[in-house]
Amino acid sequence: MDAADMGKDLEKVLISEDELQAKIKELAAQIDADYSGKDLLLVGVLKGAVMVVADLARALHLAVQTDWMAVSSYGAGTKSSGVVRILKDLDTDITGRHVLIVEDIIDSGLTLSWLLDNLKSRNPASLEICTALRKPDAIKVPIAVKYVGFDIPNEFVIGYGLDYAERYRNLPFIGTLAPHVYSGS
């Protein structure tokens, strides 16, 4: 699939590359200030948060460490069930560490809520969340999120790490898909 084909699959650009990059720099400045003098571990949730972690880590002046977790929601269908399985655990012992979970998007919040409980039980010194996107109308469990890039409408979005059937993750912006992609015609 070349760039022109990808363009045909797009309905609209919701957040441009420039807007995303400016927001990442804003979040990084807040995080730099909040964790000044502290030893911070960024925990990226695979695969969607890869772009966010890569950009955020480079925008930070703090010398952070990075680690990754991969989790999968159990259950049939496309909706998150809240029952989660760890596909890849952290390599790092987070006991006594300042941990910042980095997410691509918070939709129902069920996956993240489970992850929070799981990481809390490992007794980190602190545990906060940074997400590029959040859908306030889709949330099912209230979660205190310290750093939010953009609140967006309850629509399915792609790009900047987010996929549809494992495609479009490499788009540098956030967009919505044209209906013909879903219907397969």
- Distance (Å, whole) CA 111 – CA 180: 29
Q: Which is nearer to Mg ion, 107 or 124 (CB)?
A: 107
How far apart (Å, rounded) are the C-alpha atoms in residues 119 and 111? 12
**Rounded to 5°, angle at Cα 162 from 161 and 165:** 120
Query: Is residue 107 part of the contact set for ligand 5GP (CB under 6 A)?
Result: yes
Q: Cβ(137)–Cβ(152) under 8 Å?
A: no
How would you list the strands of the sheet with 84-88, edge to edge? 84-88, 65-73, 40-46, 98-106, 126-134, 147-151
Within 154-173, which residues bind ligand 5GP (CB under 6 A)?
A: 156-158, 162-164
* Catalytic-labelled residue, pool 2, 18, 104, 107: 107
- Closer Cβ to ligand 5GP, 48 or 149, answer by number: 48
The DSSP secondary-structure symbol of 130 reads E
Is residue 163 flagged as an active site residue? no
Say which entry of ligand 5GP, Mg ion, none residue 106 contacts (CB below 5 to 8 A, set by partner kind): ligand 5GP
Q: Which residue has the tokens 């939010």?
A: 148
Contact 44, 129 (CB under 8 A): no
> Is-contact 94 65, C-beta < 8 A?
no
> What's the distance, CA 1 to chain centroid?
25
Find the binder of Mg ion among 15, 27, 28, 45 (CB under 5 A): 45
Shortest Å distance, C-beta 63 to Mg ion: 25
Q: Report in angstroms how near the CB of residue 135 gets to ligand 5GP at its nearest.
A: 7
CB of 62 to Mg ion, least distance (A): 23
Q: Which of 15, 42, 44, 48 binds Mg ion (CB under 5 A)?
A: 48
Catalytic residues: 107
Residues that bind ligand 5GP (CB under 6 A): 48, 80, 104-112, 156-158, 162-164
Residues that bind Mg ion (CB under 5 A): 45, 48, 103-104, 163
